Amino acid sequence: MASIRDALGESKGLSHDGRDVAITVAVCIFVATLVTGLRLWLSRRQGPLFAMPDFMTLASLLFFYSYAVGTYMILTIGRSGYPTSQTQHWRLTFTLKWIYYLRLGYATGLGLVKCGILMAICSSQAASSKATRIAIRVLMAFCASWSLMAILLELLNCRPLSYNWNLDRSDGHCINQNAAFLAVGIIDAVTNAAILLLPLPQLIRAKVTRSEKLAMASVLAMGILVVAVAAVRTVAIARADFHSINGNIKMVSIWTTVEWTVAIMVANAPILWSLLDWLAPFRSIENTQSFPASINMDTGREFDYIVVGGGTAGCVLASRLKQHDASLSILLIEAGPDASTHPLVPDGSKAAQLLGSELNWSYKTVPQNHLDERVLSNHAGKALGGSTAINSGGWMRGAKEDYDLWASLVGDPRWSYQGLLPYFRKLEHHFDSHADPEIHGFGGPIKTESVSHTGRKYPLRQPVQAAWAAVGLTYHPDINSGSPYGLVEVVENRVRGSRQMSSTAYPLDVEIMTETFVKRVLVEERHGRKIAIGVELEDEKQSQLIARQEVIVSTGAYRTPQLMMLSGIGPQEELRAHGVNVVLDLPDVGRHFVDHVSVAQWWKLRQPEKGLAIGSAAFSDPAYFRGNPVDFVALQSVPLEGLRQALTKDEPNHNPDEHPLISSQRVHTETITVYVAQNPHDPMVAVDGTHITTHVCCMLPTSRGSIKLADRDIRSAPRIDPNYCATETDRYVLREGLRRLRQALRDTPAGQEIIESETVEEKFQPLGPNTDDQTIDDLIRRRAMTLYHPTGSASMGKVVDGELRVKGIDGLRIVDASVIPTPLSTHIQACVYALAEQAADIILGISSV
Ligand SMILES: Cc1cc2nc3c(=O)[nH]c(=O)nc-3n(C[C@H](O)[C@H](O)[C@H](O)COP(=O)(O)OP(=O)(O)OC[C@H]3O[C@@H](n4cnc5c(N)ncnc54)[C@H](O)[C@@H]3O)c2cc1C
C-alpha cells in the first residue's frame, strides 16, 4: 500500500459527490461543536459538575469528530465518490475498513445522544408521573439495545470479519446487508419518534409564555427533523448498492451526518432557555403567572403559594399571606393531624404526657461521640401547629446581642433585634397593659402570661430568688426586654393556662391538608435557571400540586434539610450516596446544625411536707397548674478568663477576645429550677414532692452537628447528629453553670434552707465546692440532654439569603427554625414566630409594621 503522503499526492481532488459530503460534514461539525460548547459552558457556569447527559453528549461529539476524520480519509485517500471501477484496489480496501468503523461510531455516538436526551427528560419535571418515568426508562433500554444491535450486526453480518473489507477473499459470505441496515434504520427512526412523542402531552398542556412556546416549538421542530432525516436516511440505505460502496455512499453519508448533528442539537436544547434569558432577563417566576413546561397536570391543582409544614412558622406565614390578600390561594400541607381537639393539648401541664403521644415525631440522635455514645431522644411536634402542639410554652425573645450577631453574619439589619422588634410587638398580646409600648405589643394573636400574672405563688419562689441573689444574681423584671440578664421571671404563651398553638392563635382561612407528607419540591430548569414549581405528595397517586408564585418550606430544623435533600438540593456527595438526582449542589444543607444542651440535677428538699413540689399532697393550689411549675430562669455569663482558655483550646489560631462569645455581653448559661422531679433511671426519683429538678443549659454552643439522610424515604426520620459537647468551650460553659448552681443551692443560707442534698447515681458523689473538671465532665457525659431547640440546618447566609430564598433556586423559600444562622440564648419559639411574621412581609413586599 502506498504511504499516505503518496496517496494524497496522487489525489485527483474530491469528486463532485465527495465535495458535497465534505461540505456537509464540515458545516455539521461546526454546528455540533458550537451548540455543545455553549451547552457545556452554561452547565459549568450553573454548577460545579456536568450532569450525566452533558457527559453523554460530549462523548457523542467525540465519536462524531472521529466519524468526520474517517469520512475525510475515505474521501481523500479512499477517493470515495469516484466510480469503483476507477479506484485502485488498496484504496477500496482502505475505504471499506473506514466505513466499517464509521458504522460502529455512528451506532455508538447516536445511541449516546438518544440515551442522554432521555436521561435529561427523566430528571426534568417532564417525567413527573411514575408512568412517564417508567416509559422513559423502557425507551432508554430500547435505544441502548438499538445501539447494541447495530454494533452486533456490524460485527456479525459478514463471516469471516475481514470479508467486510478484503476484496480478494471469496470464501466469505454476508447476510442481506440492505435488509439488515434497513432494519437498523427503521428502528432508529421509530426510537427517534418515540423520544419526540414522550414529553409531547406535557408540552401541550403546559401554560407558558410566548417566548417559551417559541423555544419549545424550535426543539419540537428539531425533533421532527431528526425523525424525518432518519426516515430519509433509511430510504437511502434501502437504495444503496453495497457491492459498489465507493460509488454511492453520498446520500447515506449526508443523511447520517445531518441526523447525528440535529440529534446533538436537540440534546443541547437547554441553551434555548438561556438564550431567552438574555433576550428577556427581566422575566422571573416572581413576576409571571405562567407555568414551566412539562408539569404533570394529571393530579396537579394550582395555588399561589404552597406552604409545606403546618408548624409554628408555617401557620403564621400562611395566615399572614391570606390576611394581607384574601384573593390569594394558599395551600398549607402538614404531615401530622389537626390536634386542636386532642385531649392532652390544651392543658399546659400535660406537656410531659404529650411527649409520649402520636403528636411527637420522637426522633433519636445517632450515638453521641462526646456523651459516652448515648442515643438521645429529640422531640418535635407532628401536628397542625407543629412543635407548639407539644412544647412547654416558655415565651422568651432572647438577648439583643444574639440577633445583632445574626444580622451582621448575613449583612442584613432586618434580622437584628431592632429589625425584628416590630414583629415581636406585632404578634404579642402582652399581659401587662401598662408596659412600655416601645418594647411590647398589646394587640397581637399571641397572648402571654407571667407566673405572677396567673397568680401562681409557688412556696419556693422567695428562697430560690434569695439563693441566686446571694451569689450575685440580680432580679430582672422583664424577660422580653431584649436584655434579659440575671434572674428573670418566666413568661409563657397561654390563655389562662391553656396552650396556644400557632394553628389556633392565627386565623387559618387557607386550604389545609393534614396527615399529608410532602415528598419533594418539584424543580424545573427554565431560562437556564432552576425554579420551584410545586410539590409532590407521598400519596398513592404521587400527586403533584402547582405553586404559581412560590413554594415555602417550613418543615422545621430536622425535616427541612431532609426535604431539600430528597428534592435534589443539598450536598451532592450525600445525594449521590442515596441515589438522589442532584438538582443543585448546595453543600451547606444539613450542616451547621445547633441544639441547646442541658444537664439535669435532682435536689432533695429539706421540708417536702410543706408542699413545695408537684407530688406532695400539700402542693395543691389549682393556680399552680396554670403553667409550668417554675418561677425563674437564671441567665448568666461565665468567667471570661476560663472562656478565653477554652476557646483557645478549640481554636488555637484565633484571638479569643474577638470571638462573639466574649466580645460583648452574652447569656452563656440558663438555669431553670422546676418544682417537680422525676427520673425513671439511676438515680430513681419519683414524682412524690420530695425533690425538685434543675437544668443547666449551654445557650450559645460552639459545637456544630448535622442532619443527613437516613434513606430516600420521606417518612423515615433523618440522621440527626447534634454533636453535643464536642468543644471544650461548651463543656467549660456547662461546668461553670453547674458550679454556680451548686454554689447557690448548697453554699448560701437560702439554698441550704430548702435543699438537703443532691441525689446522684449510686456510684457517684454529689458535686462539691472542689469537684474537679474531670468529674463534672463525667457528669455531663452521663446526663446531657437536649432542650429541643434545633436550629441552623438550612442557615441564612449559606442556604438561604436574607429574604429566605434558597440560593440558586427561584420560587423557593425556607421559613422556620432551620434558617437561624447562629445560636440564640433563648427558647426559640418567639423568634420563630417573629421570623415568620417578617417573612410574610418580605414575601408580600410590604411593611406591615
Ligand atoms: C418538647 C418541646 C418543648 C419545647 N419547649 C419550648 C418552650 O418552652 N419555649 C420555646 O420557645 N420553644 C420551645 N420548644 C421549641 C419550639 O417549639 C420549636 O423550636 C419551634 O416551634 C419550631 O418551629 P418550626 O416552625 O421551625 O418547626 P415545627 O413547629 O416543628 O413545624 C414543622 C412542621 O412541619 C411538619 N412536617 C415535617 N415534615 C413534613 C413533610 N415532609 N410534609 C409535611 N409536613 C411536614 C411537621 O409535622 C411540623 O408540624 C420546644 C420544642 C419541643 C419539641
User: pLDDT per residue over 583-627, tens digit each?
Assistant: 999 999 999 999 999 999 999 999 999 999 999 999 999 999 999
- Please give the distance, rounded to the nearest whole angstrom, from the Cα atom of residue 599 to the centre of ligand 1: 22
Nearest CA to ligand 1 atom 16: 829
**Residue 831 CA: which ligand 1 atom is closest?**
11
Residue 424 contacts residue 442 (beta carbons within 8 Å): no
List b or e across 501-532, with b for residues whose CB sees 16 or more CB atoms inside 10 angstroms: bbbbbbebebebbbebbbbbbbbbbbbbbbbb
**Residue 354 CA: which ligand 1 atom is closest?**
1
- Please give the distance, rounded to the nearest whole angstrom, from the Cα atom of residue 350 to the centre of ligand 1: 17
CATH number of 299-428+492-590+792-849: 3.50.50.60
**Residue 828 CA: which ligand 1 atom is closest?**
11
Nearest CA to ligand 1 atom 9: 394
Nine-digit cell string for 539? 400519596
Q: Which of 543, 541, 525, 589 is nearest to 562 (CA)?
A: 589
Neighbouring C-beta atoms of residue 257, cutoff 10 Å: 25
CATH number of 450-479+597-698+726-783: 3.30.560.10
pLDDT for residue 206: 55
pLDDT for residue 237: 79
Residue 460 contacts residue 618 (beta carbons within 8 Å): no
Q: Which of 481, 496, 722 is nearest to 627 (CA)?
A: 496
- CA quadruple 796, 330, 520, 810: dihedral sign: negative
- Please give the distance, rounded to the nearest whole angstrom, from the Cα atom of residue 697 to the centre of ligand 1: 19
Q: Which of 527, 522, 533, 518 is nearest to 811 (CA)?
A: 533
**Residue 379 CA: which ligand 1 atom is closest?**
53
Nine-digit cell string for 672? 431553670
pLDDT for residue 111: 93
**Residue 817 CA: which ligand 1 atom is closest?**
26
pLDDT for residue 211: 60
User: Rounded distance, CA 251 to CA 261, Å?
Assistant: 15
The DSSP H or E segment spanning 65 is helix 52-76
pLDDT for residue 184: 87
Nearest CA to ligand 1 atom 1: 391
Name every protein residue with a CB atom under 6 angstroms from any ligand 1 atom.
308-313, 333-336, 355, 379-383, 386-388, 390-394, 517-518, 554-557, 559, 563, 714, 788-789, 816-817, 827-830, 832
pLDDT for residue 295: 40
Residue 596 contacts residue 786 (beta carbons within 8 Å): yes
- CA quadruple 155, 157, 159, 161: dihedral sign: negative
pLDDT for residue 296: 42
User: Rounded distance, CA 586 to CA 571, Å?
Assistant: 5
The DSSP H or E segment spanning 780 is helix 773-783
Could you give the count of Cα atoms lying within 13 Å of 442 in the half-sphere of its Cβ? 8
- Residue ranges of domains in the chain: 14-279, 299-428+492-590+792-849, 450-479+597-698+726-783
pLDDT for residue 706: 98
pLDDT for residue 768: 97
- Positions of the chain with pLDDT under 70: 1-12, 43-51, 123-130, 202-213, 242-248, 270, 272-300
Q: Residue 683, preceding bond cis, omega within 30 degrees?
A: yes
- Please give the distance, rounded to the nearest whole angstrom, from the Cα atom of residue 816 to the centre of ligand 1: 9
**Residue 382 CA: which ligand 1 atom is closest?**
47
- Please give the distance, rounded to the nearest whole angstrom, from the Cα atom of residue 835 to the centre of ligand 1: 14
Listing DSSP states for 620-673 in one string gives: --GGGGSS-SEEEEEEEPPPHHHHHHHHHHH-TTS-GGGSTTTSS----EEEEE
Query: Residues 205-262: pLDDT tens digits?
Result: 654 556 666 777 777 888 888 889 888 888 887 777 766 665 557 888 899 999 999 9
User: Rounded distance, CA 85 to CA 69, Å?
Assistant: 25
Going by CATH, does the domain composed of 14-279 fall within 1.20.1070?
Answer: yes
pLDDT for residue 289: 29
- CA quadruple 442, 446, 450, 454: dihedral sign: positive
- Please give the distance, rounded to the nearest whole angstrom, from the Cα atom of residue 604 to the centre of ligand 1: 33
Residue 761 contacts residue 749 (beta carbons within 8 Å): no
